[in-house]
């Protein structure tokens, strides 16, 4: 608070029209209120050493403003002593509110009634989307199929080590595995990390709960590689949420959500190739004598009989393709084979 008051005193002495304070630390609530009353701009810079995603382009360079639901979280970041945002590198605040965009920050700071006419922005910013292109799900599916050179018939799980060996010779991709003996200082939730500048995928086997979890982690990072996401990312970290398809960036950024969705979809298609997956699925329907009754190919609710059928099919597919139960669930949903009514009844256990 004292630093803000001292700053205001100095810039008023020189009759400056606008003032901006940049800090790596949090701002006290009193300082924020005082800054708003004086129409000061505040910026909290956040280091990227704990970021889950590191973009080549600063998130502060985005023109797109934060959504209303995100502004609550951004306000907390401005004043919280310890915070580890997953991707954003700066939070900005004016009298109009908080944002991750420097464009919006200066737009708000300068384009207001208290600014002299010559200082006000004449051409307000226009909103635009992210830079990561949209890719159709089928296109990603085809890429995964070509990558694995699948003929569509075999039910044998894909050999990721063999795939990585071939890709290492082709593009120089490196795979590093870490056990308890050589584990670096990373959070326990981190399963994998892709250092794009080194063309290296790091796998933290010591953190994995199962081999299926690590297979999806590797497939996820391979998705970033084959989809050429190194054009947008400098670093990607894969953790439990990615493996379970629960991607929730701290702030809603289209580019991050799109990159992660594409990598996850690639991983799902690579590990559970569509034709052999459907082949085994149909075999299981016949073996279990499951008939479609107008509710979807595979229907599950709270009834024990439906849950038993659902559990038997998912468990078999998980064993067949060496993936987790939840990964099978997601794949069935995306292929339109599952009608899951458990959430509406308050039960989501298999």
pLDDT at residue 63, as a whole number: 47
pLDDT at residue 196, as a whole number: 93
Under 8 Å between Cβ of 202 and 192: yes
Q: How far apart are CA 210 and CA 78, in angstroms?
A: 38
pTM above 0.85, yes or no: no
Structure tokens at 146: 């070509």
pLDDT at residue 133, as a whole number: 87
Domains plus CATH for the chain?
2-119 (no CATH), 137-271 (1.10.10.2910), 274-345 (no CATH)
Under 8 Å between Cβ of 38 and 215: no
CB-based contacts of 148: which residues, under 8 Å, 6+ apart? 158, 163, 270, 273
Structure tokens at 9: 């005193």
CB atoms within 10 A of CB 88: 27
Q: What 3 state SS string does 211-279 have?
A: HHHHHHHHHHHHHHHHCCHHHCEEEEEEEHHHHCCCCCCCCCCHHHHHHHHHHHHHHHHHHCCHHHHHH
pLDDT at residue 114, as a whole number: 59
Q: What 3 state SS string does 142-163 have?
A: HHHHHHHCCCCCCCCCCCHHHH
pLDDT at residue 247, as a whole number: 45
pLDDT at residue 4, as a whole number: 81
Task: Name residues of the chain where pLDDT drops below 50.
Answer: 56-57, 63, 118-121, 123-129, 151-152, 246-252, 345-350
Under 8 Å between Cβ of 171 and 201: no
3-state DSSP call for residue 86?
coil
């Amino acid at each position: 608070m004292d630093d803000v008051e001292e700053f205001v005193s100095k810039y008023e002495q020189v009759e400056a029209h606008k003032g901006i304070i940049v800090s790596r630390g949090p701002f006290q609530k009193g300082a924020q209120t005082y800054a708003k009353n004086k129409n000061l701009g505040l910026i909290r810079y956040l280091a990227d050493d704990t970021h889950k995603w590191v973009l080549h382009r600063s998130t502060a360079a985005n023109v797109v403003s934060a959504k209303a639901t995100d502004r609550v979280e951004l306000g907390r970041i401005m004043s919280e002593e310890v915070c580890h945002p997953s991707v954003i590198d700066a939070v900005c605040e004016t009298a109009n509110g908080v944002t991750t965009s420097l464009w919006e920050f200066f737009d708000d700071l300068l384009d207001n009634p208290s600014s002299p006419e010559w200082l006000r922005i004449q051409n307000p910013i226009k909103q635009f989307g992210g830079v990561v292109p949209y890719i159709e799900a089928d296109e990603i599916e085809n890429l995964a199929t070509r990558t694995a050179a699948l003929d569509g018939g075999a039910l044998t799980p894909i050999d990721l080590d063999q795939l990585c060996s071939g890709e290492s010779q082709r593009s120089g991709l490196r795979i590093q595995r870490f056990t308890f003996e050589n584990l670096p200082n990373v959070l326990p939730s981190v399963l994998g990390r892709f250092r794009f500048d080194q063309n290296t995928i790091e796998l933290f086997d010591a953190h994995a709960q199962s081999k299926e979890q690590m297979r999806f982690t590797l497939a996820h990072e391979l998705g970033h590689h084959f989809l050429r996401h190194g054009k947008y990312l400098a670093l990607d970290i894969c953790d439990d949420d990615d493996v379970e398809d629960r991607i929730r960036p701290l702030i809603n950024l289209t580019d991050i959500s799109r990159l992660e969705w594409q990598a996850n979809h690639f991983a799902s298609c690579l590990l559970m190739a569509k034709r052999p997956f459907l082949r085994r699925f149909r075999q299981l329907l016949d073996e279990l004598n499951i008939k479609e009754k107008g509710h979807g190919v595979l229907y599950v609710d709270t009834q024990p009989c439906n849950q038993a059928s659902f559990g038997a099919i998912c468990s078999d597919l998980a064993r067949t393709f060496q993936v987790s139960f939840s990964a099978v669930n997601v794949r069935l949903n995306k292929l339109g084979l599952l009608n899951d009514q458990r959430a509406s009844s308050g039960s989501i256990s298999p």
